[in-house]
A and B are shown apart, each in its own frame.
Chain A
Amino acid sequence: MPMTLFADADALLRCEKSYRVGRGPVPWRGLIVLLLVGGWTYGAAMGAYGGRPLQMLYSASKVPLLLVASTLVVLPNFFVVNTLLGLRDDLGAALRAVLAAQATVAVALAAMAPLALFIYASTNDYDSVTVGNGVIFAMATLSGQVTLNRHYRPLVARDPAHAIAKRMWLVLYVFVAIQLAWVLRPFIGALEMPTAFLRDDAWGNAYVAIIRKVTRFFIG
């Protein structure tokens, strides 16, 4: 099983075999397994900051949830946008592209789990580990972008409207994912806070918090 998983991850990163660029059936099973295993692995590492097994378990379940739920919320719009742009004939290939990108994010996160543990081992400062995790997520997202661009290159060459569909997907996906990450916090688990699946004030709004912080910064 682990060898199959590695072979699958390798094929995904290289866009080979069932993960090849272009049309064909979406390899649902492989993509879901990679997404779950990758997310679990990094989530467990992310929650290891305080050395609390329960927080590790919570974070391990929340990272795949973040990736899957963000995708599911945005998919209806992706479908309509592709149809409106006259790209329905390529929908299978476009779907393969976005799902492969999501799985790539999970695989990249898993690959950077040792990095997160290394950061935890080297500092106790909560702000530093938050920034470290932020950078890792940003790098994983860029890795996902590489896969997305590989899949989209022939599609855009065939019809430039695919570039619009891809951009709309990215904007809406990031918009939803940031809010979902805010709702699903804590992922790291500050030492002075009790272990919890969700914070007591989880149902806030990331954007309102950011806007108010920025306003206070500039206006006071």
Chain B
Amino acid sequence: MGKLFRDFDALLRGKFTRREDLLAGRIDVPVGTLVRAGLLLGATYGLFMGLYAVLRPENPSWLQLIVTTVKVPLLFLLTLVVTFPSLYVFSALANSRLRHLDTVKLLLAAIGVNLGLLASFGPVTGFFTLSTDSYPFMLFLNIVFFAISGLVGLGFPRRAVDSVFSPAPVSRVQSDLDESPEEGRDHDSPADEGASGDDADASDAPPPERQIIHTATMSPRPSEASARGRQIFGIWLFIYAIVGAQMGWILRPFVGSPDLPFELFRERESNFFAALLNTIEQLLY
């Protein structure tokens, strides 16, 4: 348990997503720990969210509390399953430095941050559950907390996007080229002699010709690559938000309407956004 919290604390502090690691195309996040912490944090918020069903005067339901505790982590897991393939394809098309497993790790890290922030809102949700009987207000409050923690959590990989999509460091391109036998044979220029000589500074600095190859043909300029990365991430974020919202609608009830009996899932009808407008209308009148 102690290791779980230590690792999660390190994640919140950004120790697993350092810029230099992302530039090197790796994320050293302990996946098992992250999944366990995510489940625990999601269940914690689910507990606070489901409390309303136990405390409401009409149809109090312990079952709803238990089910909501399971459903909150499930909501995030299923949304990830649905949206991950599209992110991976988009980012691979844009020459992301992360392979599929590293992309999963980055998204798990983002969802971990999302759930950490959501769980920290738990006491506030619990307090309002204890002090209010307005079902539309509780629905709206939960939607706001999910939205805030989602925006912050997904802002977390957004910061990593620049590193992930920026062109490879020059030294790495240089070493890639050096490993190619053809390249090694073809280049007999004085610059190559300098690169293979004893002078360490000279070997670190790429020859002018290779810098030209790197910037002109191998990668777009850093700002272009980052802008493209941001665009792709923005599209994925939009998809993730829509899928997450609708997934929440499919998995409902989470809070549990006082007028309706307990059900594991409600009938498929309407959609999340229509229901949100309806909730706001109920709040107003």
Contact = CB atoms under 8 A, between A and B. Distances in A.
B is a partner of A: yes
Given A79-B120, A80-B116, A215-B285, A180 B127 contact: yes
Contacts of B130: 203
Interface in A171-216: 172, 175-176, 179-180, 182-183, 202-205, 207-208, 211-212, 215
Chain A facing B: main interface SS? helix
Contacts of A203: 130-133
Contact of A84 (B113, B128, B133): B113
A220 to B, nearest CB: 11
Interface stretch (A12-20, A34-42, A69-77, A107-115): A69-77
A124 interface: no
A202 B123 CA distance: 19
B285 A183 contact: no
Nearest to A70: B127
B72 interface: no
A83 B9 contact: yes
B127 A73 contact: yes
A52 interface: no
Contacts of A208: 132, 134, 136-137, 283
A75 B113 CA distance: 17
B120 A179 contact: no
A200 to B, nearest CB: 13
Contacts of A183: 131
A80 B122 contact: no
B116 to A, nearest CB: 6
A81 to B, nearest CB: 7
A77 B126 CA distance: 13
Nearest to B131: A183
Contact of A205 (B122, B137, B284): B137
B117 A84 contact: yes
B90 interface: no
Contacts of B14: 86
A76 B117 CA distance: 9
Interface string B101-135: 00000000000010011011111100110111110
Contacts of A81: 117, 120
Given A204-B133, A205-B131, A83 B13 contact: yes
Contact of A73 (B113, B123, B136, B283): B123
B201 to A, nearest CB: 34
Contacts of A204: 132-134
A134 B41 CA distance: 38
B75 interface: no
A84 B121 CA distance: 14
A77 B121 contact: yes
Nearest to B133: A203
B283 A180 contact: no
Contacts of B132: 179, 203-205, 208
A73 B116 CA distance: 16
A179 B117 contact: no
A179 B284 CA distance: 18
Nearest to B153: A84
Nearest to A76: B120
Interface in A145-188: 172, 175-176, 179-180, 182-183
A76 B123 contact: yes
B117 A80 contact: yes
B152 interface: yes
A73 B124 contact: yes
Interface in B1-52: 9, 12-14
A175 B134 CA distance: 16
A176 B127 contact: yes
A77 B283 CA distance: 26
Given A77-B120, A84-B12, A180 B131 contact: yes
Contacts of B128: 179, 205
Contacts of B124: 73-74, 77, 172, 175-176
A205 B117 contact: no
Nearest to B123: A73
Minimum-distance CB pairs A-B, first 8: A80-B120, A205-B132, A77-B120, A83-B12, A183-B131, A76-B120, A208-B134, A205-B134
Given A74-B124, A203-B131, A212-B284, 20 more contacts: A73-B127, A76-B123, A77-B124, A81-B117, A83-B13, A88-B13, A176-B124, A179-B127, A179-B128, A179-B132, A180-B131, A203-B130, A203-B132, A204-B132, A204-B134, A205-B137, A208-B134, A208-B137, A208-B283, A215-B284
